[in-house]
Amino acid sequence: MAESQGILDIAARYYRVYTDADTPCDEENFHFVERQLPLPVAQTALVLVDVWATHYIDSWLKRAAAITAEKILPLTTALRAAGVTIIHAPSPFVVERQHPESMPTALQARSKPVQPAAERAGVDEWPPAAFHGLYRTGDYADFGRNQEQRLQDAHARYEQELKISPLMQPQPGDVVIATGEQMHEELRSRRILHLLYAGFATNWCVIGRDYGMIAMQGRGYNNVLVRDATTGVEFHDSVDELTATQITIREIETKYGWSTTCDELVHDLR
């Protein structure tokens, strides 16, 4: 990567799921496309998704803690020094409890769940509140997943322990956001177009949050995943090879943006 006149010229890739006209359009002929992306420093932000200090999945937390120390911390330090905007996006739950000064005004004043607009207007809410989510309750409990004690214990633990990793505490000049709309307004005010993504979990919050890659690609931003600065939550039959992580990275490279590596981003900034 060369940095000159405020440009980060990084090697990136995406995955091409089509072929040239003279090549059979078969899956075996799909491949990566490598490109240099000249990202203006002033128009680029590093988005740190859910870089937490704790988690209820012990094996995953061990991987994430190592990646945070060995990859995300030096990446963030180098990009901050280069003038890239650093955005901490640790979930509304964490911001509300640990960084209340960064909550959007409407949410900051919240003392209890906001009543749905339809209900406030005297219109029946649909679907009903008890039907929302995977763990349905009341009249709809038969359609919900089992109420897991492990998850209840995890939520209680999060109330006490969940926060940004001590290695990654926001520094002066960094931004902390709680919602996708809040991040969008911050990016608009700074005229930022390019988002470098690092953090966790690849197949959950990095893609799925309202400030994650799917939502921000839908808003029109250029996404670049730092693929060695993330890991996903694996399954019992995928954890040895980190298959779920790799499939999600490939899905991002196919539909939602580009990917690059920490070394490509920082080797000329050391």
b (16+ CB within 10 A) / e for 211-220: bbbbbbbeee
Ranges of the chain with pLDDT below 70: 1-5, 106-123, 268-270
Predicted pLDDT at 5: 60
Res 103: pLDDT: 95
Strand intervals (E) in 103-237: 175-176, 194-200, 222-231
The pLDDT assigned to 123 comes to 67
Nearest residue to 200 (alpha-carbon basis) of 4, 52, 82, 39 = 52
- First-last CA distance in the chain: 11
* Per-residue tokens: 191: 């005229």
pLDDT, residue 107, reads 54
d(CA 68, CA 30): 32
pLDDT digits (tens, 9 = 90+) for 28-62: 999 999 999 999 999 999 999 999 999 999 999 99
Per-residue model confidence as pLDDT tens digits over 86-123:
999 999 999 999 999 999 975 554 434 445 555 555 56
Q: Whole-structure pTM over 0.85, yes or no?
A: yes
Count of CB atoms within 10 A of residue 250's CB? 14
**What was the pLDDT predicted at 160?**
87
Contact between residue 124 and residue 118 where contact means Cβ atoms under 8 Å apart:
yes
pLDDT at site 121 = 54
Residue 122: what pLDDT? 56
> What domains does the chain contain, in order, with CATH numbers?
2-108+163-266 (3.40.50.850), 127-153 (no CATH)
Q: Are residues 184 and 219 in contact, defined by beta-carbon separation less than 8 angstroms?
A: yes
